[in-house]
Structure formats: C-alpha cells, structure tokens
Chain A
Amino acid sequence: MRRLVAVVAALVVAGCGTSDEGSAPGEVTVFAAASLTESFTSLGKDFEAANPGIKVKFNFGGSSALAQQLNQGAPADVFASAAPANMEQVADTGTITATPTTFARNTLQIAVPKGNPGGVGGLADFGKAELKIALCAEQVPCGAAARKVLAAAGVTAVPDTLEQDVKAALTKVSLGEVDAALVYRTDVKAAGGKVEGKDFPEAGQAVNDYPIAPVAKARNAAGAQAFIDFVRSEKGRAVLTEAGFVLP
C-alpha cells in the first residue's frame, strides 16, 4: 500500500504543475525539464531566502512540451531544458536570443529493483531474452541515449517494453515488473531506496547536456539573470551534484 501511495504521488507530481500566469515584478517564472523537479524546487527556496522580495514560480514538464508552450507565447522568464535540441526549437523562433549555458549533465545508469533479482551485472545482460527489460522509446531523449550506449557496447537489446518517458521506465523497475531499465542517474537518486543504480563504462557515450537561458521577452530580466547565476553558483552546484547530475 505504501508502495502504491509513493508511486501514485510520484506520478501526480510528474503530471501536474502547469501554470501560465505571467510574472509580476519581483516574480521569476522558470520553465524547467521534469527531471529538474526535485533539485530546482530545493534551489528555488534557497534563492528566495538569498533574495528577499523575489518569488520563484516553476512550471515543470517534458522539455519538448515546454518548448512548444514557449513558442506559443507562454509567459516565462527562464527556460532550463533537458536537451539542447529543445533549446534550439525555442531559439529558432526568436523566443530566446541569449546564448544558452550548459549548467548540468546527466548520464545513464542501469536501474534494477532492490536486491537485483535478475542478477543484472552490466549492459550485456540487456541482450538476454529471459530477463524483462524496459527501455525508453527512441522518440524520447532517454531512449535515444540508450540506443547510443547499447551500440557503443555492441549489445543488441531485447526489450519487453519501450516506455513513453523515463519516469514510466523507473516505475516498472520500482514495482519489480522488469529486471532492468536504462534511466538517468538523477532518476535513480530521486527514487530513493526503491531501485538500485549501476554505473557502466559506456555511459560516457551519451551525455545529456542541460542548457539554461533567459527568455527574450522576460518581464523580469534582472530576476531571470539572478536565478541563472544562482543555479551556476557554488550553492547551485552542490544541490545539482546531490541530485545526481554531473557538472561541466
């Protein structure tokens, strides 16, 4: 039961949180990739404490969905994407004109259920038909990354399911429905003790850069820059490292 509650809560948090009200002066609205939910929420509190009078509002979501919202004119001051491609989509329309900065990197990890019932040791096990394997669909970033590392390792994976996003893949692992999945290190961290993460040497073949940039028509340009600076400060780096990110 507790497991269900935890999973349900994770799904609800992942699915909600959209708001399209504009930033009042003294407010900074940040559109950020869903994988930044935990670290940015924590950073936001620290930022508000360090800058009295400024409030931070977040809109977490899939990077491509956020990019579309921005291009449709959603009011935001900062965009933090999980992939450079989504940042480019926004730059193409002139919604963002500043040069984005890479503030964090994410790499893949093998996630296995607690206790590793499938006895998964490395990427080679992803080719074993008797194991239940989950990968992300190739259309989403974690799936594209998984394809790269598997190719680098020379493994032909036999997945049982191609999940629509990384959280869904992680859910299958935490419920024990699959023996292994390829997810981001940050997701393994965020799942707490419910899954175990295993590093593998080919992870360096698919490094996911997280760019951040102020929106061109930001209502609070100063606030936007202050938030970006805070993310890149010592404090920000500590929080991101704690969440499992690799820093540039």
Chain B
Amino acid sequence: MTLDASIRVSRANFSLDVDLTIAPGEVVALLGPNGAGKTTALRALAGLVPGARVRVGESTWDGLPVERRPIGVVFQDYLLFAHMTALDNVAFGLRARGTAKAAANATAATWLDRVGLAGFERAKPRTLSGGQAQRVALARALATAPQLLLLDEPLAALDASTRLKVRADLGRHLRDYPGHTLLVTHDPLDAMVLADRIVILEDGRVVQQGTPAEVVRRPRTDYVAHLVGLNLYRGTAHGTEVSIVDGGSLTVAEPATGSVHVVFPPTAVGLYPEKPAGSPRNTWPVTVSGIERHAHTTRVHLDGTPPVFADVTTATMADLRLEPGDRLWAVLKATEVHTYPS
C-alpha cells in the first residue's frame, strides 16, 4: 500500500510544505542543502514534531504518538544506547513492543548477522567502528519490521573511505526491505546511488522530483543543476571495463561485474583542444553544447559518447576560449570513477 504524507510545519522565519508519496519497496531521497527542512520533515513523519498527516492505504497515523507509529529511524549519529550491548540495542524495539526476551534476542541476533556483525552481539557501542555502529543502527531500525524506514543522513558521520563500502551495503539492505523508505541527505551521491526517486527541497518547498537520471539530465533550476552536478551512467561491468547502456565505455580502477551505476564528479574531467599524447585510457572526443558560469568555476556541457559535464576554472576558460560547437577531447582518470551495483 502506498504511503501518502502531507507535512506542514511553520515556525518563525521558516515554513515547511511538502507532500510525499512513497510506494512499497521504494526508496525516496529528500535532498537539499542544510536548513532546507529535510530533518524537520523526517521528524514530523516520526511524530517527534507535530505537522505531518500520514495515510497508508486505508489507515491514518493521525494522533498516533511516536511510540505507537510503525517506524524505524536511523539517526545521523546513530544514537545507540551506550550502556547496552549491540544485541540489546537491536532487541530494544522488539522488547518495547512486547516481544518475549528470548524471541527478541533471537531476532536481534539474526539481524546482526544480516548486517554482517555476527560475533559482535556483546560488543558495547563505543568499541564499534563508525561503519559497524551504522550497521547496528540500521539493524535496530529494521528489527521491528516497520512500515516506514526513516534515514537521517545515515552516511554523514563516516569518513570518505568507509562511506564507499557502507553506502554499497546500505543500498543492498534497502533493496531487500519491502516497506517504504525515506532517506534524508545533503549528499547528491547518496541520493543518486541509494534512491529510486529524488525529491529536492529548498527553503521548505519541493523544487523538483524524479528519478536520479531525470534530475541529472534535466535539472529544473540552476540550484538543482549545481547540487546534482554529477556524471552518472548505468552500465554493465566486466572487470575494470564498463559498457555504458546509452553507448560508450569507461575504464574503472576497481573491478566489478554486472549491472552498475558509474559516477564521477565534473571536476574529474579534463578538457584538451588536441588529443593528448600517451593518452590515458578514458579519452574521447566531445562537442561543447552549453556553458554555465558559476562564481569560481564554469560548467561545460559536452555531447559525445557518453555525454559528460566538466567543471573548469576561470583561467582554463580564458585559455581555451570555449564556444558552443567547439570540438575537444575529454580525459578522465580511472581512479576518479566509482561504481555501485544497481
């Protein structure tokens, strides 16, 4: 059953007005800058602040206090209970909802195993790494089989190297989860990789929504274009070689197989008037189709196989004197390219 929510929160200097629809099994990302109202929307859905009306099929959550809502929340810094073991943390929701201790512990142990933490049952949260703590938090939120899973910046507290791995794991668990998922994030990459649909929030209002590909291809405002300024493709990987679905191929540093997302930032693309000598493997001809100027950089839209965005500095811009229709060579380092299973 589809979940429909309308969220209206108003405070001094701020108002939030968002309608959300989430299908079963769908992951919706609420993406926006800090202060856009993303976390407030999440807290309203959880019932921690008033202002959200939620309907799932025929039933509504009106007047339900937090503890009676069928939700699971992963908080930004996880909020694991420090005095309890990992197992007790995961079993807490089940115990609170009346499951007998033995059954709750058994279910909790299964969940720890599913997130790859078998053997950590008796560990206290402060002995866990950031990635491990995040997985305990996820297991805790999912253990009660909630209808709605709310994730508040679930990767923000991790360092860059851990984030890659944890993001992939999170994606796998979200695909297995049959309920409705709302992911709040300010990181476009999280949204692109994890969500089926992206809702972009700015100053408490939805400015655009659609699949990741739609949002990237047709950003409706400059703000969105800048925010989601990522090169994102779907393709099929054979080791370090990825064939892009819409044509072209890219070499990546880490081998993968099967259906993948390929992602790299526009800053990773270099532009040259001539084909560079001793050329790196990811080199292909492109044609300038548009130029967007920002404060310190210029984003160049380039047609080619595949098409690509490149960010260049104002100095490079002056050197190359780019005009739409100019023919150039795009160069991309394999180490800058990441793949995620899709």
Say if the two chains contact directly (CB < 8 Å): no
